[in-house]
Amino acid sequence: MTAPQHPWTAHELTVSLAGRLIVSCQAPPGDPMRDTETLVRMARSAELGGGAAIRANAPEVVAAVTAAVDLPVIGLWKDGGTGGDDVYITPTIRHALAVVEAGAAVVAADAGERRRPDATTFPGLARAVHEAGALVMADVGTLAEGVAAAEAGADLVSTTLAGYVPGRPRQDGPDLELVAELAAAVRVPVIAEGRIRTPDEAAAALAHGAHGVVVGTAITAPTALTARFTEGLGAHGGGRGCARR
């Protein structure tokens, strides 16, 4: 196994993320932004804007982003169904080691106990990633998952899956209650992630005990952001003088 290009210690990573922004540079399947060079440009913009780390999906993108920015890259590999029953964020040790091989300083992986394509468990995956020289971010959806992930050796616990897997309602904004509960329950840094739409919400996450915040859609997803505006216009009326409702 090749050693990662940026071998960060857990302590160094913790210090570098304190109170800071991690920018998730991803695009869904079929989106015009789902292109490695485009995602690299997003990552470089995020670095220029003061981001402290980049979150990126798939080995090819992780490798390209790692080569292009001077920040720690939190890599993942989405594979499989996204229906809530299956683990799709770095579901197996094979996926995790490919992300390490691509140069990620940190591997983000679903820490849940839902269905996986093989016999991988999150504790086994965390061990394998550590042995390969990288750190582990546990993507969790509930307090219990976060506590178990920290016990299993996760270096960071992130609220990535809150509202997307069973256990928590999906809110419009971030699940700040879960952030606070996790921060009180685990000793590793808690990262607030999921549906953070504004700088105020990012600051609120820190005030609720988050060590750092991940923002994706609100920074790097023009299709979703455009749809938010077009839906807003659709809901509140048409052009001048045009009463639509």
Ligand X SMILES: CC(=O)N[C@H](C=O)[C@@H](O)[C@H](O)[C@H](O)COP(=O)(O)O
Tokens 């299709």 belong to which residue?
Answer: 223
In the complex, what is the shortest distance from the CB of residue 243 to ligand X, in angstroms, rounded to a whole number?
34
Q: Dihedral sign, CA of 44, 48, 49, 52?
A: positive
> Which CB sits closer to ligand X, 92 or 160?
160
> Which CB sits closer to ligand X, 137 or 236?
137
Name the residue with the smallest CB distance to ligand X: 216
Name the site residues for ligand X (rule: CB under 6 A): 24, 26, 76, 89, 160-161, 164, 193-196, 214-218
In the complex, what is the shortest distance from the CB of residue 195 to ligand X, in angstroms, rounded to a whole number?
5
> Which CB sits closer to ligand X, 12 or 31?
31
In the complex, what is the shortest distance from the CB of residue 73 to ligand X, in angstroms, rounded to a whole number?
13
Rounded CA gap, 22 and 191, in Å? 9
Characterize 37-59 residue by residue with b for buried, 16 or more Cβ atoms within 10 angstroms of its Cβ, and e for exposed: ebbbebbbebbeeebbbbbbbbb
> Which CB sits closer to ligand X, 229 or 241?
229
In the complex, what is the shortest distance from the CB of residue 164 to ligand X, in angstroms, rounded to a whole number?
4
